[in-house]
Amino acid sequence: MGMELWWSKFISVCSFILLLLNATHCFLVVQTQALGQIDECSALLQLKESFAINKSVSTDPLAYPKVSFWTREGDGNRSNCCSWDGVECDEDSGHVVGLNLGSSCLYGSINSNNTLFHLVHLQRLDLSDNHFNFSQIPSRFGHDLSSLTYLNLSNSLFSGQIPSEISKLSKLSTLDLSFNYQKVDDSIPLKLTKGNLRSLVQNLTNIKKLHLSGVDIYSTVPDISVNASSLTSLQLDHCGLYGEFPVGIFQLPNVENEFLWPTAYLLGNLHSLIVFSISSCNFHPNVPSSIGNLTQLSYLSMSSFNDVSKGKMGEFPSFVSNLTQLEFLDLSDNEISGPIPRSLFQLKNLEYLSLSRNNFSGLVEFDQFSKLKKLKGLELSNNMLSVEIRNDLSATLPKLQTLALGFCNLTEFPNFLKNQSELTRLDLSGNYIHGPIPKWSNMLQGPLPIPPQSIRLYDVHNNEYTGEISPLFCNFNNLQILELSNNNLSGMLPQCLGNSSVLEILALQNNLFNGYIPPICPSKTSLGIVDFSYNQLQGKLPRGVMNCTQLKVLNFANNQMSDIFPSWLGALPELRILILRSNGFHGVIGKPATKHEFPKLHIIDLSNNGFSGMLPSNYLEIWNSMKYVDENRRTYFEVNSDEVGGKYFRSDYAMTISGKGVELKYERTPYLLTLIDLSSNRFEGEIPEGPVGNLRGLVLLNLSNNSLTGHIPSSLGDLAALESLDLSQNQLSGRIPSNLAQLTFLAYFNVSHNHLSGPIPLGKQFDTFQEDSYEGNSGLCGKYLPKKCEDSESSTRPPPSIVEEDEDSVFQIALDWYVVVPGVVSGLIVGVVVGNI
């Protein structure tokens, strides 16, 4: 009896202990989950604080700052972040497993210390359509976020090498790193150069969607079919891939919906393919007719195709007529010649057609396009076509969103446009449009046609329009690009013209505008290029320009402005080109307020003004972007705007400068072009040796026609990228430093009309300079001058060159320019490639 009682009590005690332990365990689990959630909430709040909110950086019209609504409620130590916008939690564990911050207007960098990497349970992460300030993708994505199945970092301005650790994310089914470059393309794109595509996907055995469009891979094409057998969508256009194409990729069993790749070799079982791109490819063999077997194809992009053995396409691909389901067709930039084939008008499903930048010729009756009832976008610009448009055409044409008829020999404004109320892009540049413009009721007023309210790109440059700009242009809330240059427009500019928050390019150069400059950027805007050069504008530079935080080009050359140096422009973080040439700017250029002003300035032209005092040595010391040559940026300054009418719009920036003794027009402005022109002012004193000698990236330096004294700094011999040096029309004295002959790429040299003496340098480029480079210096002597040197002062040859004479040198720049003002040009083919590359 006693034993039974004891045993009963023992069982009761054990049961109680078990219940207590179980309760304790449950309590600890709940507490652990709660603490984990609190830690993750804190990490999210710190993530929020690491970014600024800039509504202009996201391109999606529905973008909004999701993190703005993240706040703690109640007890400061407790918060249920699972209810926050963009945050997804696991129902059982409570951990944050999803984070969707796509199109959230985030601006800033992600470094390895970011609290994002504390969210170790993340399975889905979307950071697309933000601005991460060209920071590199941290390797911790692969180390700490190993549970990711979805990762989207597209269109967010990451740059540099893709970390190899990404390949460790073995659970990924979607990886999107595409389109990480800037609208105004001033960024180094993402790269995959340390290794190849195969190494990236070697462990991604579950990958279904791999989107790397625009990533700089630049290698031969690896066969990834073994590693990526689950692929259903592959996008690798504009990646610089080349070489023989692996057959295995076309035999991937699951690829059905889209295939974007720069290649031209079709084999395998892809009859159900509906999207195919071979844009910007560089492959062998030629375009195969087997593409015509893809009868379900709705999207075909073949722009800028290049066969390594045969060159451009040259002929219209006959197989296109078999693709009756096509909705999108891009054959631009292929040197296709001959007339536009009539079979093209049998593709009844076409919504977008681009034949621009080819050699199509002959007469095109525009009413042929009325057969394409679904057409929304049409581009025929830059061919050898003559487009004939009947006045009664409007009733039969479909509603267009994009129309590009640049350089199509038009002589009058197309009458059918009065009914095109859905246009978002209109390009009529380079035609011969003149005479009166029809005043369509409620549509057009005055000589310059007023486009529909939906317009996003309006380009009528290089025509003969007259009259004033209507204030109605201020009402276009979607207008991103307004290009009215090279016309005969006149009058005062509307005061509201620069107010738009979405306007990116405002180009009014080479017209007859007068009066005062209207306010520009009264509040923060997206303006990247403002060019009002070659007009008759007066007054001061509007201080509102300080709000143009995205501004990269500011050009007011050849106007009638009167102002002091706008030092406040130094606060603009993106400003790259500043041209104020030939105005009435005056006074002393003082000291910068901080050492961080003009952080990205590469081109400054203040010539032909009234500036006085010493050369701005304090500014020369802080123009850090001029102190090196970035060999990774062998590209041209261009604008890539948002997608308009189914296609991204690209525009090169052209400008005119004085250099190499003549006026040069750059049809495309190279990123490597670095220029300082302070000529034709009233500067005095010596050339600051230290600050000037540190500008190792300078290509053109012009200090001519001032009152400079002292000697020519020997440190100029350190400017190894220099192609043009003009110190003429000053009061410089002493000898010409012999080490200038080290400048391998120096194509133009002028020290005429100074007080120089002694021997001129010999060797290399100095053996090409003529007598007029030295005239007006009676004390100079040398082999190429009337005055020969005595034996004791014979011309000296330079020490060994600081750069090898190698055509692949990092300092060699292929510049697109042509001479505007006639002049004698000697030695200009050394160090540069002349012509339209």
Where would I find the beta strands (DSSP E) of 74-119? Answer: 87-89, 96-100, 106-107
Domain that holds residue 52: 16-191
**Among the three residues 135, 166, 191, which one is the final residue of a domain in this structure?**
191
Inside any domain, residue 635 = yes
Tell me the three state secondary structure of residue 813.
strand
Asked if residue 740 is part of any domain, the answer here is yes
Instruction: Note whether residue 222 is domain-resident.
Output: no
**Residue pLDDT, tens place only, 717-745:** 999 889 999 999 999 999 999 999 888 88
Say yes or no to pLDDT of 777 above 90: yes
Q: Is 362 exposed, middle or buried (0-12, 13-18, 19+ CB in 10 A)?
A: exposed
- pLDDT tens, position by position, 678-689: 999 999 999 998
Query: Within 13 A of 511's CA, how many CA atoms are on the CB side?
Result: 31
Task: Count CB atoms within 10 A of the CB of residue 383.
Answer: 24
Instruction: Write b or e for each residue in 741-770: b if 16 or more Cβ atoms lie within 10 A of its Cβ, otherwise e.
Output: bbbbbbbbbbbbbbebebbbbbebbbebbe
Q: What is the pLDDT of residue 512?
A: 93
Domain CATH code at residue 718: 3.80.10.10
Q: Which residues pair with 489 in a beta bridge?
A: 467
CA dihedral sign, ordered 681, 686, 689, 690: negative
Residue 834, pLDDT score: 26
Is 646 exposed, middle or buried, given 0-12, 13-18 or 19+ CB atoms closer than 10 A?
Answer: middle
Pairing of strands 675-677, 700-702: parallel
Give a yes or no: residue 592 inside a domain. yes
Query: For residue 152, what pLDDT is reported?
Result: 96
Distance CA 360, CA 363 (A): 10
Sign of CA dihedral 580, 585, 590, 594: negative
Contacts of 298 (CB under 8 A, 6+ apart): 274, 275, 325, 326, 327, 328, 349
CB-based contact 143:177 (threshold 8 Å): no
SS3 for 697? coil
303 compared with 794, residue with greater pLDDT: 303
Query: Counting runs of H as helices and runs of E as strands, what totals does the chain give?
Result: 5, 56
The answer as to whether 758 is a domain residue is yes
Structural domain total, the chain:
2
Q: Check residue 467 and give its pLDDT.
A: 85
User: Has residue 285 been placed in a domain?
Assistant: no
Range in 45-49, 73-77, 668-672 with the lowest mean pLDDT = 73-77
Task: Report pLDDT digits (tens) over 236-286.
Answer: 777 777 665 555 555 555 555 444 444 333 334 455 555 666 665 555 444
User: In the predicted model, is pLDDT for residue 826 greater than 50?
Assistant: no
Element (H, E) at 766: none
- Distance between CA atoms of residues 363 and 338, nearest Å: 11
DSSP tag of 596 = T
Alpha carbon 604 to its chain centroid, in Å, reads 20
Q: What are phi and psi of 299, to 5 degrees?
A: -130, 120
Q: Give the mean pLDDT of 579-588.
A: 95
Measured distance CA(307)–CA(285) in Å, rounded: 6
Q: Which range scores top for mean pLDDT: 374-383, 448-457, 629-638, 763-772?
A: 374-383
Higher pLDDT, 660 or 369: 369
Instruction: Show the tokens assigned to 577.
Output: 């080109």
Residues recorded for the chain = 837
- Tell me whether strands 655-659 and 662-670 are parallel, antiparallel or unpaired: antiparallel
203-219 burial, b at 16+ Cβ within 10 Å, e below that, comes to: bbeebbbbbbbbbbbeb
Tens of pLDDT, residue by residue over 88-111, are 999 888 899 999 999 999 989 898
pLDDT higher than 70, residue 441: no
In a domain, 504, yes or no: no
Q: Are 378 and 359 in contact (CB under 8 A)?
A: no
CA distances in angstroms from 359 to 174, 388, 403, 410, 712, listed in the order given: 40, 18, 19, 17, 52
Mean pLDDT over 301-321 rounds to: 73
Mean pLDDT, all residues of the chain = 77
Q: How far is CA 344 from CA 288, 318, 368, 371, 388, in A?
A: 19, 10, 10, 10, 18
The DSSP bridge pattern shows strands 636-644 and 662-670 to be: antiparallel
Q: What is the 3-state secondary structure (H, E, C) of 621-651?
A: HHCHHHCCCCCCCCCEEEEEEEEECCEEEEE
Rounded distance between C-alpha atoms, residue 463 and residue 105, angstroms: 39
Average pLDDT of the segment spanning 164-183:
84
- Please report whether residue 770 resides in a domain: yes
Q: Domain ends where: 126, 158, 191? A: 191
Give the end of a domain, one of 191, 225, 247.
191
- The residues, ordered by sequence, that sit 6+ positions from 806 with a Cβ below 8 Å of its Cβ are none
**Which carries the bigger pLDDT value, residue 317 or residue 536?**
536
